[in-house]
Structure 1
């Protein structure tokens, strides 16, 4: 860890899934901080591969393919591209810019996506998903198990036929919270970054009374108002709402008034 920089001496927990944790951890380290990677969600292939295989078989029937997250891309695109090139008639769409980058890494360009707030509401507000654009169209939504139904329900209300394809599943951390407790007890845990309400609930479930006391006292940086609201509903109050994605989290970390 660098001994200089705006985050020198600060240990920041990065809770993104392991495959997405690297860029934020590297940015923290470049600013002099010490990233502690502790994924709150572990990502696995879907328990049943048949829905994805069936969607790949009929991919040409869809007008729009929406990818909810980079994990959806990483678990769906290899199966799609193994069957052939991305169909020229199929419009890709994504909820966030990280997902756009993941699609580009697989050679899929021209993606529809929000440029500011990254959520289903903002995606649905784009002209390409308006009622007149999707009525009578078939839409595939590639996603993890569970999650919000707003996107699918709204597109159906607008007249689209929507298939939701589960291509990965999530679970909470399997190794317990000992690394966090050790850092807290040593006075060496300065903040957590959390990008998932589901992950935050997993964390609270794993913590005992001592751990929850530590968590309540620790700054919690979140990149979306919905996560901030859920954190408050779970009894947390030291919540810092940042801008979107890694860049927004880093900007908030750098602007924060750290105690001496």
Structure 2
């Protein structure tokens, strides 16, 4: 934590999965704040590895491979590339820029992804996934368990043959909320950053009545309108909607009118 800076004296909770929380935590610390790491989603391999192995065996049959998140890259790519290199004619696609970066770090270049909104709707708006481009083609979607079916359903409606491959599973935090409650009681928890509606639901379920009261009074920064809407449905209204990804969350944190 650096002295001074726009977030000096502020403790910000980072709730991304542990493997993805580092960059945002470092940015908060560089701005003078303190990052309290509290992942709301725990990520583990899929219980059944057979579908992923089957996708690896027929990787050359796909025209497009969509990776929903960096977690999908981390869990799928080692299996996909264990016995072969990335097919030249296979177009990689991602929902967010963090996933593009994760693919590039593992040698997969040329990934298409939205540049503004980071969701399935924005990905589907790209010309490479237009009906005329995907009709009759085979598309793989590497993802976690559960989640929205919009991407798969829409590609299927556009004439693609879609295989959804679950390569990791998500669960709520195994530890209790004692660390958060202690920080709230001591008056040293200023805000939370939340990048998952599912994670936010886990948090609300994890907290007791005292914790939920603290949560309602604490600023929550979210990078997508859908998360903000889900937060309101959970009776949380101290919500700041930011631009996407870590950069958007940081811009929102820095611009916030913090109380003296």
Instruction: Assess same fold via TM > 0.5.
Output: yes
CA distance in 2, matches of 1:72, 1:83: 19
Q: Aligned-pair distance for 1:81?
A: 1.3
CA distance in 2, matches of 1:69, 1:148: 13
**What is aligned with 1:244?**
244
CA distance in 2, matches of 1:33, 1:89: 45
**What is aligned with 1:142?**
142
**What is aligned with 1:121?**
121
Q: Aligned-pair distance for 1:3?
A: 2.9
Per-residue CA deviations over 1:131-159 (Å, capped at 9, x if unaligned) read 00000000000000000000000000000
**What is aligned with 1:174?**
174
Runs ≥4 residues deviating over 6 A: none
**SS at the partner of 1:4?**
coil
CA distance in 1, matches of 2:144, 2:176: 23
CA distance in 2, matches of 1:28, 1:63: 40
**What is aligned with 1:21?**
21
Per-residue CA deviations over 1:148-198 (Å, capped at 9, x if unaligned) read 000000000000000000000000000111110000000000000000000
Q: Aligned-pair distance for 1:117?
A: 0.4
Q: How many residues align?
A: 260
CA distance in 1, matches of 2:94, 2:199: 21
CA distance in 2, matches of 1:83, 1:106: 15
CA distance in 2, matches of 1:208, 1:187: 18
TM-score by length of 1: 0.99
More divergent stretch after superposition (6-15 vs 75-84): 75-84
**What is aligned with 2:9?**
9
**What is aligned with 1:34?**
34
**SS at the partner of 2:110?**
coil
Q: Aligned-pair distance for 1:89?
A: 1.1
**SS at the partner of 1:82?**
coil
CA distance in 1, matches of 2:38, 2:254: 21
**What is aligned with 1:255?**
255
Q: Aligned-pair distance for 1:115?
A: 0.5
- Structure 1 unaligned spans of 5+: none
Calculate the aligned-residue CA RMSD, in Å.
0.5
CA distance in 2, matches of 1:238, 1:88: 48
**What is aligned with 1:205?**
205
**What is aligned with 1:107?**
107
**What is aligned with 1:87?**
87
**What is aligned with 2:196?**
196
- Structure 2 unaligned spans of 5+: none
